[in-house]
Amino acid sequence: MPPSSPSESSLTGQVLIAMPALDDPEFSHSVIYLCAHGEDGAMGLIVNKPLPSPSFTQIIRQLNVAEGDPARVISLCKGGPVESARGFVLHSTDWTGDDSLKVDESVALTASLDVLKAIANGGGPAQGMLALGYANWGPGQLDREMKENSWLTADADPDLLFGDDHEGKWLRALSKLNIRPWQLSSLSGSA
């Protein structure tokens, strides 16, 4: 999905936090960084579901990106259920390539091998994570899910995006909103 430019109601650059009642196994307890959100839909990467295999080193070897073991290793997550063999590097903007999409002032997204080569050779962005697959919503779909109380939103921060404590990210994201899981209800209403 081509990214659309952020509007006033855009959630681009925010994290989605799955509500406890969201029982879809793909998204249960997920924290998703939204790389794009607009009239055409939304695209994001799950940042708290690490993949046990393949390893980052195995991917670098399989893609023939570097000779031997990489000089640096970044975390590897299941980015979402769509195109699970496609890789995206979410990273800090201190490094960008020609094909990088700058999501906001501090975060970029790159889907080319250039960023993997840079990281494998010991350079590249200071912070990053590799996601296999992505989450995608059609026009208006995410907005409907928000109204149905499936997601909360919060500001993203480097620890939520790039930190290694994947199990704790969902609770940390909720705590940014001063919310504990037991305080949440799946029911909503309007007056």
Does residue 117 carry a pLDDT above 70?
yes
- In angstroms, how far apart are the furthest CA atoms of the chain? 62
Does residue 115 carry a pLDDT above 70?
yes
Does residue 110 carry a pLDDT above 60?
yes
Average pLDDT over residues 134-160: 95
Is 106 within 8 Å of 92 (Cβ atoms)?
yes
Contact residues for 58 (Cβ-Cβ < 8 A; gap 6+): none
CA 78 to each of CA 30, 89, 99, 121, 163: distance values in angstroms, whole numbers, following the listed order:
11, 12, 22, 24, 15
Average pLDDT over residues 41-62: 94
Does residue 6 carry a pLDDT above 90?
no
Average pLDDT over residues 37-57: 94
> Where do the structural domains in the chain lie, given as residue ranges?
14-183
Provide the pLDDT for residue 185.
56
Architecture of domain 14-183: 3-Layer(aba) Sandwich (3.40)
Average pLDDT over residues 164-174: 94
Average pLDDT over residues 5-26: 84
